[in-house]
Chains A and B, each alone.
Chain A
Amino acid sequence: MSAPLLEASGLVKTFGTNRVLRGVDVQVPSGSVTCLIGPSGSGKTTVLRSLNGLEAPETGTVRIDDVALDWAARPDARAVSRLRAQSGMVFQSHNLFPHLTVLENVTAGPVLAQGRPRAEARAEARELLGRVGLADKADAYPVQLSGGQQQRVGIARALATRPRVVLFDEPTSALDPELVGEVLRVMQSLAAEGWTIVVVTHEMRFARQVADQVLFLDGGVVVESGPPAEVLVEPRERRTRQFLQRLLDPL
């Protein structure tokens, strides 16, 4: 078996006196979908943000493809941004650039950061917008779109820099329920195209149907991991069972 595309090990992160990550390992094979699930405060978002350096763990290593980072060695901003360039990110609250059009949002990375030719970036951005079903919204401003459309622009923007891995931080949690489907369907199609995806999510149906592996986190550690058919259907750990039970029956 070849080495995983993304590999993180021994991630430890403390906020003040609160140790949110207590040694987390993640391995993501190329072309696979990994779902991070767990109760709020379990550290799943911190794990995701450690993979692109939006959080700086105290110790642990992250490697994506051939770019590796040892957090204990206090890497400088350059090293962190080299790791960050390996991935794209979709945020819970989309974080689109409100002063730019949809097309400019998507070309911002390729043109302003990667220095690619504008015409080429625009053509590719239009193609990406077509793939997320928003070809006709290229000249709109984000404020003119629905929440689901905004999130799909966010996905196109994340893909535009041609990342090796796409990180999703609760991409549907801020959406009205009827808009969740359109975003999940786009994510599902990306998975089918072979993108490598890591998702923090509460959408268990998505995890069931699309994920190749599910990591259940609680208290800053990976309590249980494996294929969704095991972790979500026949969990070995009591904490996993309790968590799934609460999702199933909130009252």
Chain B
Amino acid sequence: MSTIDWDLVRTSLGPLLGGLLRGTLPLTALSFVLGLALALVIALMRLSGRRVVSALARAYVSLVRGTPLLLQLFIVFYGLPSLGLTIDPFPSAIIALTLNVGGYASEAVRASILAVPRGQWEAAMTVGMNRTTTLRRVVLPQASRIAVPPLSNTLISLVKDTSLVSTILVTELLRKAQEIAAPSFAFFTLYGVAAVYYWVVCLALSFGQTRLETRLSRYVAA
């Protein structure tokens, strides 16, 4: 008996691609974009001069990093209903992943903001910019270049972390593979195909990261 059922590979390519395009990729994209926005807020809170604000942000990051993502998913999907708050699987997944990305990425964002030299703030202030304008027009554009490598890491981890949401009934790539494999017990074949899909997506993202780094480094000394 052959380990890999090539006919099954061929017939499952389409449905698994569906799981990727309808589940994994939208989950990744949505929670990354929302997570980044949250990360910026958390990072700015941590950099705030107000003790209470920065302590709140620090507590949040500690909580997110100190508990498993799987548990965070379960709390949102299985836990909240007992507080009278029932959320559908897909939004639950987006919420949990966003909160998770927000916590992790905030540290990369904060470090990148701090890596922009103090002289840039001073120069912006001496030409009359206020803090918000300085942040938007001077500091964040430079910080975003610095943040590309660590945030690419976060994004690539996120692609694979979305597989965890198969446990809260969201049909993405992994769950699709399970569904197709279950009747025939062809787990090796289906998980193999799913693995290739994940890998290809991550390869493409790594390629995109390199291009973005090149583009953003045009104004930096060679």
Residues of chain A at the chain B interface (Cβ within 8 Å): 52, 54, 77, 81, 84-85, 87-89, 91, 93, 95-99, 108-109, 112-114, 141-143, 157-158, 160-161
Whether a CB of chain A sits under 8 angstroms from the CB of B91 is no
Report A-chain residues with C-beta under 8 Å of the C-beta of B125. 54, 81, 84
The 8 Å CB contact of B127, one of A113, A141, A142, is A113
Instruction: Judge whether A98 and B219 touch: CB under 8 Å.
Output: yes
Could you tell me the distance between the alpha carbons of A83 and B128 in the complex, rounded to whole angstroms?
Answer: 10
Report B-chain residues with C-beta under 8 Å of the C-beta of A77. 131
The 8 Å CB contact of B219, one of A52, A99, A113, A157, is A99
Report A-chain residues with C-beta under 8 Å of the C-beta of B142. 98-99
Q: How far is the CB of B59 from chain A (nearest CB, A)?
A: 28
Could you tell me the distance between the alpha carbons of A222 and B117 in the complex, rounded to whole angstroms?
Answer: 31
The 8 Å CB contact of A109, one of B117, B120, B128, B130, is B128
Report A-chain residues with C-beta under 8 Å of the C-beta of B120. 95, 97
Instruction: Judge whether A113 and B119 touch: CB under 8 Å.
Output: no
Report B-chain residues with C-beta under 8 Å of the C-beta of A95. 117, 119-120, 122-123
Decide: A142 near B133, CB < 8 A? Known: A97-B120, A99-B141, A108-B127.
no
Could you tell me the distance between the alpha carbons of A77 and B129 in the complex, rounded to whole angstroms?
Answer: 12
Instruction: Judge whether A98 and B126 touch: CB under 8 Å.
Output: no
The 8 Å CB contact of B220, one of A52, A87, A98, A108, is A98
Could you tell me the distance between the alpha carbons of A113 and B132 in the complex, rounded to whole angstroms?
Answer: 11
Could you tell me the distance between the alpha carbons of A158 and B128 in the complex, rounded to whole angstroms?
Answer: 10
What residue of chain B has the Cβ atom nearest to residue A104's Cβ? B137
The 8 Å CB contact of B137, one of A98, A108, A114, A157, is A108
Could you tell me the distance between the alpha carbons of A142 and B221 in the complex, rounded to whole angstroms?
Answer: 9
Q: How far is the CB of A223 from chain B (nearest CB, A)?
A: 28
28 contacts between A and B (CB under 8 A): A52-B126, A54-B125, A77-B131, A84-B125, A88-B126, A89-B122, A89-B123, A91-B122, A93-B119, A95-B117, A95-B122, A95-B123, A97-B123, A97-B138, A98-B220, A99-B145, A99-B219, A108-B124, A108-B138, A109-B127, A112-B127, A113-B129, A114-B128, A141-B219, A143-B219, A158-B126, A160-B127, A161-B127
Could you tell me the distance between the alpha carbons of A142 and B120 in the complex, rounded to whole angstroms?
Answer: 13
Decide: A84 near B126, CB < 8 A? Known: A112-B133, A112-B137.
yes
Name B175-218 residues within 8 Å CB distance of A: 218
Could you tell me the distance between the alpha carbons of A109 and B123 in the complex, rounded to whole angstroms?
Answer: 10
Q: Which 5 A-B pairs rank lowest in CB-CB distance, beginning with the nearest?
A: A109-B127, A113-B128, A95-B123, A95-B119, A89-B126
Could you tell me the distance between the alpha carbons of A22 and B221 in the complex, rounded to whole angstroms?
Answer: 41
What residue of chain B has the Cβ atom nearest to residue A98's Cβ? B219
Could you tell me the distance between the alpha carbons of A99 and B126 in the complex, rounded to whole angstroms?
Answer: 18
**Chain B contact surface mostly:** helix
Could you tell me the distance between the alpha carbons of A81 and B127 in the complex, rounded to whole angstroms?
Answer: 10
Instruction: Judge whether A84 and B128 touch: CB under 8 Å.
Output: yes
Q: How far is the CB of B113 from chain A (nearest CB, A)?
A: 14
Instruction: Judge whether B128 and A141 touch: CB under 8 Å.
Output: no
Report A-chain residues with C-beta under 8 Å of the C-beta of B145. 99
Report B-chain residues with C-beta under 8 Å of the C-beta of A97. 120, 123-124, 138
New contact pairs (14) apart from A98-B142, A161-B128, CB-CB < 8 Å: A77-B131, A81-B125, A89-B122, A91-B119, A91-B122, A98-B219, A98-B220, A99-B141, A99-B145, A99-B219, A112-B127, A112-B137, A114-B128, A143-B221
What residue of chain B has the Cβ atom nearest to residue A154's Cβ? B123
Q: How far is the CB of A173 from chain B (nearest CB, A)?
A: 14
Could you tell me the distance between the alpha carbons of A88 and B125 in the complex, rounded to whole angstroms?
Answer: 10
Could you tell me the distance between the alpha carbons of A54 and B126 in the complex, rounded to whole angstroms?
Answer: 8
Instruction: Judge whether B126 and A141 touch: CB under 8 Å.
Output: no
Report A-chain residues with C-beta under 8 Å of the C-beta of B138. 97, 108
Decide: A88 near B127, CB < 8 A? Known: A93-B119, A99-B141, A112-B137.
yes
Could you tell me the distance between the alpha carbons of A63 and B205 in the complex, rounded to whole angstroms?
Answer: 55
Can you list, as one digit per residue, whether each of B13-36 has a CB less than 8 Å from chain A (1) or not (0)?
000000000000000000000000
The 8 Å CB contact of A91, one of B123, B129, B220, is B123
Decide: A112 near B126, CB < 8 A? Known: A93-B119, A98-B220.
no
